[in-house]
């Protein structure tokens, strides 16, 4: 075989130096039969052979055994000669036997006369590229596995028109479609019909493309037709050349979170309402307490004045009677205010609710008038409850009057009672257990949601000016809560209203009770007593003193608990103590505890309009509710002396 004439290559030393200096490519010449004729530094670095080790040897030396057996070296030379070039990728073998991926190019070389004199061969080591490609493939595979493994998010691709390209496990779980069922279909399938008709799917894609991202929360539809509330993100996807090739879409089911948020907001609203009602209750209770003291002065003064009037002065008697009735109305108003504030003094006793409501039938018929038909739906037997029967009757009568006023043209009022079992976590916030429900329903105008929400607010009324104080329902609500129950209101416009008092069934049926002390005429005192009267309100103290003196007793006045204890410490003979409870620095209950250390058998009356005395009234103490009449005062004195007699007998 003739040697290759290097011609200009031999003359151009600089070119030879350039080729020799290249280290990233193996560049060498082959004789026409494939024998190596030259060798550069890149070839030595890549294949491990020095020039003297390889020049003169056939280039098939670099092929792996399988390719040599298949005749690939000869085929490469033939292709290059026939087609003017040969390009391929494959595996080659280094001197140490290791294999590596390469990209090879073969060009036939011809002299000036067109005679084929050999081949130029360029080999590039693809190991770094293949490693990068493999790493990319592994990364993509891991990413696919990651996306496919996510079950809490629907993650999938859309083509530029919005058709689903792929589908992950989360999408299948959330939306109910398998990949075979959904790939190729338009993603508008997941939108509610109204949104589809309004063009929302395509509009959202346009916004994502125009703005670079689109986010929203809204309703979506599953395969079975059920809906769920979703958080959606749509991102446009572009290739490396910047061409838009589709959209990436992520959907998360946030129905539970939305429901929890709604419950949290409802709880916050309930807390706000409770705080508002508590604040109003405290204000109302304080006002009622002060008003009670004023009524105490007014009513007791009128009662004492009535006893001193000239019997023949009828005009003066009428004026006193009118004033007394006004004081009674004021007392009723404070009673409602205290009931709302849950500070009302109640005479709790065991009550049969069925018997109580059944006994009110005639009263209810008279109260609502002939235009309203009253139906009583009462079971023969009901479990007993603990309540103040007088206040329970007043509460039911309040509900009946409200029902009558809601039916100006007449209608039907149904009064019913039934036992009701509440489970733990009930909507009313009451402890689990058995309750008695006493309901008054009407066929009247009903209330809208806004009115219903404010119905138990104090002083809120839909009645005309002068036709209601706005305390009726709030009084019933406070009364029921004070007994461990609640007031339920159900109403809608045109559908009437049902008001239900829910009270817990009595657990201790041994509780007895006494009827409240009547306002009968004051009896004359059997024995004159020396009474220590204690009240921080001077007007109240003065009238209590006057009533006691009118009963024939001698009175020592004290304007505070400290003054009262000082009077007792001075050794003054005292037969009985009557004290207010709500006093500054030291309450009546605290004063009683102090004086009992030296006077354990002292007869004591605790007068207060409040029910919530911390720890309850001290044992052996007679309670007297403000405002009280002279007759009630006389009865309390007799009861206190009776308690003392029992102590002394023991």
Q: What is the 3-state secondary structure (H, E, C) of 203-253?
A: HHHHHHHHHCCEEEEEEEECCCCCEEEEEEEEEEEECCCCCEEEEEEEEEE
Q: How far apart are the first and last CA of the chain?
A: 145
The single residue listed with the structure tokens 């009547």 is 518
Residue 279 pLDDT exceeds 80: no
The pLDDT value recorded for residue 508 is 64
pLDDT band of 405, cuts 50, 70, 90:
confident
Q: How many residues does the chain have?
A: 650
Residue 85 pLDDT exceeds 90: yes
CA–CA distances in Å: residue 97 to residues 26, 42, 352: 17, 18, 105
d(CA 221, CA 391): 55
d(CA 218, CA 208): 16
| Residue 3: other Cβ atoms inside 10 A | 9
Q: Which of 48-62, 95-109, 388-402 has the lowest mean pLDDT?
A: 388-402
Number of H helices, E strands in the chain: 22, 20
The single residue listed with the structure tokens 């979703």 is 230
Higher-pLDDT residue of 299, 551: 551
The pLDDT value recorded for residue 385 is 92
Residue 61 pLDDT exceeds 90: yes
What angle, rounded to 10 degrees, do the helices at 389-405 and 361-368 form? 30
User: Percentage of the chain with pLDDT > 70?
Assistant: 79
State both tokens at 265: 């907001």
Instruction: Read off the pLDDT of residues 208-265 as tens digits, 9 standing for 90 and up.
Output: 999 999 999 999 999 999 999 999 999 999 988 889 999 999 999 999 888 888 888 8
The pLDDT value recorded for residue 370 is 87
3-state helix, strand, coil in the chain (%, to 5): 45, 25, 35
Range 468-478 average pLDDT: 65
Higher-pLDDT residue of 590, 147: 590
CA–CA distances in Å: residue 226 to residues 175, 182, 251, 304: 9, 17, 16, 76
CA angle 285, 286, 289 (to 5 degrees): 85
d(CA 154, CA 230): 10
Q: Which of 140-149, 388-397, 404-413, 490-499 has the lowest mean pLDDT?
A: 140-149
Sorted by sequence, the CB contacts under 8 Å of residue 279 that are 6+ apart come out as: none
The pLDDT value recorded for residue 109 is 93
Residue 206 pLDDT exceeds 50: yes
The pLDDT value recorded for residue 387 is 87
CA–CA distances in Å: residue 131 to residues 122, 135, 137: 21, 6, 10
Range 115-128 average pLDDT: 92
Residue 446 pLDDT exceeds 90: no
Range 188-193 average pLDDT: 94
Range 398-423 average pLDDT: 90
Residue 489 pLDDT exceeds 50: yes
242's torsion region: left (phi>0), alpha (psi -120 to 50) or beta?
Answer: left
Q: In degrees rounded to 5, what are phi and psi of residue 100? A: -150, 150
Strand order in the sheet with 153-158: 153-158, 244-253, 227-238, 214-221
Instruction: Read off the pLDDT of residues 502-557 as tens digits, 9 standing for 90 and up.
Output: 999 988 655 544 444 444 444 444 578 999 999 988 888 888 898 899 889 999 99
Instruction: Read off the pLDDT of residues 349-370 as tens digits, 9 standing for 90 and up.
Output: 889 998 889 888 887 888 788 8
Q: What is the 3-state secondary structure (H, E, C) of 518-536?
A: CCCCCCCCCCCCEEEEECC
Identify the burial level of 378 via C-beta atoms within 10 angstroms of its C-beta, where 0-12 means exposed, 13-18 middle and 19 or more buried: middle
């Amino acid at each position: 075989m003739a040697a290759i004439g290097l011609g200009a290559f031999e003359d151009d030393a600089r070119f030879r130096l350039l080729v020799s200096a290249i280290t990233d490519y193996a560049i060498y010449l082959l004789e026409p039969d494939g024998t190596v004729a030259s060798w550069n530094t890149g070839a030595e670095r890549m294949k491990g052979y020095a020039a003297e080790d390889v020049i003169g040897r056939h280039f098939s030396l670099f092929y792996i055994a399988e390719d040599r057996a298949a005749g690939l070296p000869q085929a490469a030379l033939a292709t290059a000669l026939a087609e003017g070039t040969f390009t391929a990728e494959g595996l080659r073998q280094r001197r140490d036997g290791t294999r590596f991926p390469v990209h090879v190019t073969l060009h036939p070389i011809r002299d000036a006369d067109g005679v084929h004199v050999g081949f130029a061969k360029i080999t590039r080591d693809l190991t770094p590229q293949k490693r990068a490609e493999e790493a990319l493939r592994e990364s993509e595979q891991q990413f696919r596995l990651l996306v496919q493994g996510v079950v809490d998010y629907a993650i999938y691709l859309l083509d530029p028109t919005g058709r689903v390209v792929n589908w992950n496990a989360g999408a299948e779980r959330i939306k109910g479609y398998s990949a075979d069922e959904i790939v190729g279909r338009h993603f508008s399938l997941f939108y509610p019909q109204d949104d589809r008709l309004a063009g929302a799917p395509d509009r959202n894609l346009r916004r994502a493309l125009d703005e670079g991202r689109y986010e929203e929360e809204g309703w979506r539809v599953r395969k079975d037709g059920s809906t769920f509330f979703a958080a959606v993100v749509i991102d446009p996807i572009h290739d490396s050349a910047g061409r838009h090739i589709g959209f990436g879409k992520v959907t998360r089911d946030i129905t539970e979170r939305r429901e929890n948020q709604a419950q949290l907001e409802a709880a916050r609203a309930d807390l706000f309402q409770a705080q508002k009602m508590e604040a109003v209750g405290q204000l109302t209770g304080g006002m009622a307490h002060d008003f009670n003291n004023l009524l105490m002065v007014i009513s007791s003064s009128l009662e004492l004045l009535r006893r001193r009037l000239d019997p023949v002065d009828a005009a003066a008697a009428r004026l006193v009677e009118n004033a007394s009735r006004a004081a009674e109305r004021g007392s009723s108003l404070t009673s409602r205010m205290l009931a709302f504030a849950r500070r009302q003094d109640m005479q709790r006793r065991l009550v049969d609710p069925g018997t109580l409501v059944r006994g009110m039938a005639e009263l209810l018929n008279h109260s609502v008038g002939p235009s309203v038909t009253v139906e009583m739906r009462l079971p023969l037997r009901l479990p007993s409850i603990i309540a103040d029967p007088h206040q329970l009757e007043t509460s039911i009568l309040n509900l009946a009057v409200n029902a009558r006023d809601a039916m100006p043209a007449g209608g039907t009022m149904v009064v019913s009672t039934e036992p009701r079992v509440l489970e733990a976590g009930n909507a009313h916030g009451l402890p689990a257990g058995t309750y008695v429900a006493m309901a008054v329903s009407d066929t009247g105008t009903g209330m809208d949601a806004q009115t219903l929400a404010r119905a138990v607010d104090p002083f809120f009324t839909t009645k005309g000016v002068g036709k209601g104080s706005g305390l009726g329902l709030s009084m019933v609500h406070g009364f029921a809560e004070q007994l461990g129950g609640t007031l339920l209101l159900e109403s809608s416009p045109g559908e009437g209203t049902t008001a239900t008092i829910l009270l817990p069934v009595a657990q201790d049926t041994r509780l007895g009770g006494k009827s409240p002390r009547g306002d009968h005429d004051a009896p004359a005192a059997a024995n004159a007593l020396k009474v220590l009267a204690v009240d921080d309100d001077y007007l109240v103290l003065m009238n209590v003193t006057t009533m006691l003196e009118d009963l024939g007793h001698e009175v020592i006045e004290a304007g505070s608990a400290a003054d009262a204890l000082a009077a007792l410490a001075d050794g003054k003979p005292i037969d009985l103590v009557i004290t207010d409870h709500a006093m500054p620095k030291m309450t009546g209950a605290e004063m009683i505890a102090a004086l009992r250390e030296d006077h354990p058998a002292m007869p004591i009356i605790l007068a207060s309009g409040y029910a919530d005395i911390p720890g309850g009234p001290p044992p052996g103490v007679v309670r007297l509710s403000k405002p009280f009449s002279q007759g009630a005062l006389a009865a309390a004195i007799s009861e206190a002396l009776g308690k003392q007699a029992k102590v002394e007998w023991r």
